[in-house]
Amino acid sequence: METMTRIEQALQAALASGETSGCPPKLAAAMRHAVFPGGARIRPQLCIAVARACGDSDPALADAAAVAIELLHCASLVHDDLPCFDDAPTRRGRASVHCAYGERLAVLAGDALIVLAYQTLGLGGSRSPARLCRTISTVSRGVGMPFGIVAGQAWECEPRVALSDYQRAKTGALFAAATAAGAESAGVDGETWRALGEWLGEAYQVADDLRDVLADPETLGKPTGRDVALGRPSSAREQGLLGAIEHFDRLVACAIEAVPPCRGSSMLRELVRTEAERLVPRAWCQRVERQHAERTAAARRAHTPSAAT
């Protein structure tokens, strides 16, 4: 089965498990709004791609790990969009959960999605319970304290933070969990697979900073220019656009380099390349380079005494 079909079906099944008669209907709707239609589903895709590259010997656990990681990602988006954080009116091209259902249901939908993530893992792990223990630990490490995405978000509440620590926790952690859990679901040591996820996560965060400046809001499905507006740490601000693009390219190269030897390694490298082009299209780089060249030339002209006068 196509990876995306597999992911969407598993997500549908997970959500449906809680939507029995007698459940609070608005919470069910708010949870669904947070998960469907999805974004690029890059984390669960990565998880399943790694599981496949490692032999995919327990597809039920691989699906459960992929779903858990995507639900945890969706939960974090719902809570990050809340008025006390980004106060984002839109997400994925439509109203954010708190705008559509109110703040209370947004808080509860996030909570219920976190619970559903682990419930799905518990169910999917029943055939390989020993692997399940490792996968729970791996997934939790990507989300909780001290270095998971919730900890990453918490750095926004501290007076000082190193950009790389912030990015590693806020994005890299869940990518590393996706690659490690994918491997573990297939009975392979997850540690050797963490580096791929870490590089990709870092690349993704830099891409996110770039997209906040370079993409148009319609393509992005959310308002742009939020990092500057909210005074958030951003690679694009720290390194300039050209510097950030070069940084992104280096991170993608490191990710490709970090794919461990396995049957599916060339497929994985290709996935990384495709994803990099989707995130930061070549056309953007050319645009930024052209603008940079024009600015440099203009500055040179302004500082060179004209021979004619």
Residue ranges binding a second copy (CB under 8 A)? 17-20, 22-28, 31, 75-76, 79, 82, 84-85, 102-105, 107-108, 110-112, 114-116, 118-119, 121-123, 125-126, 129-130, 132-133, 136-137, 140-141, 143-148, 150-151, 153-158, 165
Closer residue to a second copy, CB minimum distance, 121 or 210:
121
| Least distance CB 225 / a second copy (angstroms) | 21
| Least distance CB 75 / a second copy (angstroms) | 7
| Least distance CB 170 / a second copy (angstroms) | 11
- Tell me which residue of 163, 159, 229, 240 sits closest to 202, measured CA to CA: 163
Closer residue to a second copy, CB minimum distance, 49 or 116:
116
Closer residue to a second copy, CB minimum distance, 149 or 271:
149
Closer residue to a second copy, CB minimum distance, 48 or 116:
116
Closer residue to a second copy, CB minimum distance, 52 or 98:
98
| Least distance CB 112 / a second copy (angstroms) | 5
Closer residue to a second copy, CB minimum distance, 151 or 213:
151
Tokens of 195: 């580096």
| Least distance CB 153 / a second copy (angstroms) | 6
| Least distance CB 277 / a second copy (angstroms) | 33
Closer residue to a second copy, CB minimum distance, 114 or 245:
114
| Least distance CB 271 / a second copy (angstroms) | 28
Interacting residues of 14 by C-beta distance below 8 A, sequence separation 6+: 67, 71, 116, 120
Assess contact for 195 and 203: CB atoms under 8 A.
Answer: no
Q: How far are the Cα atoms of 31, 150, 286 from residue 283, in angstroms, in the given order?
A: 36, 34, 5
| DSSP-assigned beta bridge partners for residue 95 | 90
Tokens of 189: 């040591």
